[in-house]
């Protein structure tokens, strides 16, 4: 992995996956993972995307191999700034942007605050902020405090994945998630729970792909469809029969839909 020291002194780690032809100048896509995840959660996406695009996978602050910030170095705005500083560090004036769950909420805010930087936007399993969702973040935090992250995740697996998913993958998923600092998670969730981007969705003018599950226990389908209603250039796709973690449960399907979307909206094919 490579490293970036942000303007507020936090170390962020990121990975570049680029298997394009060496004579090409590929466009860049930045992927933002979900809470309690890391850039490793996108491992299945890379073969699909990196033959055509330079793929940047960021470990968001407090996640993966990036530094865990203290309270003075953590806010929603700071998560947005991290993406812009990473793009600047990579000398990338504009880029495609895709996120999963909380990462998609951050991606939407980047597009709202820096529309000149984002070519296309892709949202997987995220409503416009968590404020109007069914999530009880107090319950989540209490559960983590009492059971630990492993206990919390193991007790909520049925809310995340359909029956029949490979138990070896589930074990890997949990093992990756519990690497996250518990105190940081308990600070992260209330920050995201306060976000509501609904009133600004009409400002998203770049092409946007929205892929959502219809069996999410935390976000009703109509809460997802708010984006379709308000974003002018929105391609809305429903994965029927899936819970929240579609980017992990069906990664090749997600990556394939993203690749088709990107190919349709890029200058070359």
pLDDT attached to residue 269: 43
Task: Please give the full DSSP string across the chain, using - where no structure is assigned.
Answer: -EEEE-TTS-EEEEEEE--S-TT----EEEEE--TT--GGGGGGGHHHHTTTSEEEEE--TTSTTSPPP-GGG--HHHHHHHHHHHHHHTT-SSEEEEEETHHHHHHHHHHHH-TTTEEEEEEES--S-STTSS--HHHHHHHHHHHHHHHHHHHTGGGTS-TT--HHHHHHHHHHHTTS-HHHHHHHHHHHHT---GGGGGG--S-EEEEEES--SSS-HHHHHHHHHH-TTEEEEEETT--S-HHHHSHHHHHHHHHHHHHHHSS--
197 token code pair: 């981007």
Tell which residue, 59, 55, 60, has the closest CA to residue 44.
55
Tell which residue, 11, 6, 32, 10, has the closest CA to residue 85.
6
pLDDT attached to residue 267: 63
pTM assigned to the model: 0.94
pLDDT attached to residue 129: 81
pLDDT digits (tens, 9 = 90+) for 35-93: 888 999 999 999 999 999 999 999 999 999 999 999 899 999 999 999 999 999 999 99
Strand order in 28-32's β-sheet?
Answer: 2-5, 11-17, 54-58, 28-32, 95-100, 118-124, 208-213, 234-239
pLDDT digits (tens, 9 = 90+) for 196-216: 999 999 999 999 999 999 999
Least confident of 110-114, 209-213, 262-266: 262-266
Tell which residue, 111, 106, 112, has the closest CA to residue 121.
111
For the domain 2-265, what is the CATH code? 3.40.50.1820
Provide, rounded to the nearest whole percent, the portion of the chain with pLDDT above 70: 98
Region 8-35: what's the mean pLDDT?
95
């Amino acid at each position: 992995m490579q490293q970036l020291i942000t303007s507020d002194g936090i170390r962020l780690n990121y990975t570049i996956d680029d298997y394009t032809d060496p004579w090409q100048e590929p466009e860049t896509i930045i992927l933002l993972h979900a809470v309690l995840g890391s850039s490793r959660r996108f491992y299945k996406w890379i073969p699909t995307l990196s033959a055509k695009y330079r793929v940047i996978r960021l470990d968001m602050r407090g996640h993966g191999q990036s530094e865990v910030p203290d309270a003075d170095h953590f806010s929603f705005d700071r998560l947005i700034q991290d993406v812009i500083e990473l793009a600047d560090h990579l000398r990338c004036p504009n880029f495609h942007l895709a996120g999963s769950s909380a990462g998609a909420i951050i991606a939407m805010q980047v597009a709202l605050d820096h529309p000149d930087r984002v070519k296309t936007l892709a949202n997987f399993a995220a409503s416009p902020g968590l404020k109007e969702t069914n999530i009880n973040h107090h319950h989540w935090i209490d559960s983590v405090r009492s059971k630990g992250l492993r206990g919390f995740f193991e007790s909520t697996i049925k809310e995340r994945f359909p029956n029949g998913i490979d138990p070896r993958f589930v074990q890997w998923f949990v093992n990756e998630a519990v690497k996250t600092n518990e105190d940081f998670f308990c600070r992260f969730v209330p920050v995201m729970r306060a976000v509501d981007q609904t009133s600004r969705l009409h400002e998203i003018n770049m092409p946007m792909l929205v892929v959502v599950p219809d069996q999410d226990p935390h976000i009703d389908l109509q809460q997802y469809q708010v984006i379709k209603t308000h974003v002018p250039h929105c391609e809305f796709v429903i994965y029927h029969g899936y819970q929240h973690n579609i980017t992990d449960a069906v990664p090749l399907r997600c990556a394939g839909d993203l690749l088709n979307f990107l190919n349709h909206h890029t200058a070359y094919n």
